[in-house]
Amino acid sequence: MKKIGQFFEQKKLDHKFKKAGDGHKLTDERPTSPTAASSSSSRPQSATRQVSSEGAQMAGMAAMARFEQPKTDSRKKKAIQREAQRQIEKEQAERIVNMPENAKATKSQTSNDPEGFCDSDSPVSVSGVFFTCALSTERVTKSLLDEHIRECILMHLAVDPIKASAFMVKTINKDKEKVQVCVNTIEKYINNVCAHPDEEKYSKIRLGNKAFQERVGSIEGAEEFLQAIGFERSLIKQDEQEEYYLVLNEDKKQNPDQLKAYFDVLANTQPLKPTLDRDIQVFHPNNSVLRFNLPSDFYNVTSQEVEREQQLRAEEVEKNSMLRTKAMREADLKKQLRRYRYVLIRIRFPDGIILQGTFYARDKLSSLTEFVRECLVNDWQPFYLVTQTRQKLTEETSMLAELQLAPAAMLHFQWDESIARDIALAHTQETTILKSSILKLMKPL
């Protein structure tokens, strides 16, 4: 039966081939079918294939050349891609520069925040960066800090003029080299008086003297210090002209040890460094904890520097394709660290409560862990801070910016598993993690 079926199948195939007509070779001209002949007869005589236009011929030749030529060198491709990226980023930077100032601030933040922390439609996560002056307990914003420190020092002049004027010299004047020249010059004045107490020329200083004006008079607080240690402003007539001098009091002139002790106060005084306020905030459990909208104080990059920032990003693509030494990589890291001034950190605890604090971008991880520890009921119990990618932060000496926590980051609090297990077995674990004084600050996010 099988053979009979194959026989009939073969007969069917032979019948189909016969109906198809005579075969032909591929090299022979194929005869025109009746349908094709009828359709061609209906067309005009000029329906023969037209010669392509000059532009079409050139396009075809170019396509064939692209098809036949070898692949473009990979380095050339990268150069083309980099140039295209630079052009795109330049156009973006020009659009940003032409924005209104409020839009620039928002754009500047988002350009520095590739992970999209900033949300221009939401209220700011913090109202600003706050500091506490060493001479007062008042909490002031960064924009008012210099003025506040100056006022505190001026008020302190009535209480301790020597120490307050020394603070003025070291704190208000930002050029450290000029400050050091001023201190060295005052030291020479005092040494000359101590070495020659009976010679009048060493006990007075002409205020109009060019050297005095350049080295001492231009430094704020220097004249106040000289007056505090016994120099008095006097109008003296000399060569038929009256000029102002600083003249040392006779009693002070006869006490060289005291003068040297006064100078030691100036030499050893350090600039007043305000303390960064952590601005502790505690929030109820909330799903929008990852939304950060930071004020411009957190960034070193201004709107005028956005174009330069875009260029640096394009150059980074080129650097990654080059072999670089360790020193070159460290230099690049330092540039990146200068982009941010402060860091806003949020820590989510196992019970969902969120703790927030402000830090310097250059603060070590140890500063963050100490901040968290001070808020815990069991401050002795080991714990970890874990990133969103479940990476434990253990490098205590690393800067927060180095750990890629700038300008803002969300971390998770986690007890050390081995210790927590032992405490759970002993039933000594506290029901609450944060201190009651911290929990009192809790509010909606």
The mean pLDDT value for 359-369 works out to 94
pLDDT at 21: 61
pLDDT at 197: 86
The mean pLDDT value for 309-323 works out to 57
Q: Say what percent of the chain tops pLDDT 70.
A: 61
Q: Which residues touch 52 (CB under 8 Å, ≥6 apart)?
A: 60
Q: Is 419 part of any domain?
A: no
Q: Which residues touch 232 (CB under 8 Å, ≥6 apart)?
A: 246, 247, 248, 249
- Average pLDDT, rounded, for the chain: 76
Q: Is 249 part of any domain?
A: yes
pLDDT winner (highest mean) among 81-90, 215-224, 329-338, 339-348: 215-224
* DSSP tag of 172: I
Q: Specify the residue for token string 């001209």.
A: 29
CATH number assigned to the domain comprising residue 231:
1.20.58.2190
Domain count, the chain: 1
Domain that holds residue 244: 136-268
Q: Is 353 part of any domain?
A: no
- Encode pLDDT of 190-222 as tens digits: 999 999 888 888 999 999 999 999 999 999 999
pLDDT winner (highest mean) among 95-104, 223-232, 236-245: 223-232
Q: Is 238 part of any domain?
A: yes
Q: Is 336 part of any domain?
A: no
Rounded distance, CA 301 to CA 314, Å?
17
Q: How confident is the model at residue 41 (pLDDT cuts 50, 70, 90)?
A: very low
- Largest Cα span, the chain: 147
Rounded distance, CA 321 to CA 393, Å?
30
The mean pLDDT value for 335-345 works out to 81
Pairing mode of beta strands 281-283, 442-443? parallel
pTM for this one? 0.59
* Tokens found for residue 82: 């980099």
Residue of 65 and 181 predicted with greater confidence:
181
- Count of C-beta atoms within a 10 Å radius of residue 381: 16
Q: Is 295 part of any domain?
A: no
For residue 149, what is the enclosing H or E element? helix 145-156
Q: Is 201 part of any domain?
A: yes
Q: How confident is the model at residue 134 (pLDDT cuts 50, 70, 90)?
A: confident
pLDDT at 79: 65
CB 131 within 8 A of CB 274: yes
Rounded distance, CA 420 to CA 417, Å?
5
CB 385 within 8 A of CB 372: yes
Q: Is 153 part of any domain?
A: yes
**Range from 115-124, 330-339, 380-389, 430-439 carrying the lowest mean pLDDT:** 115-124
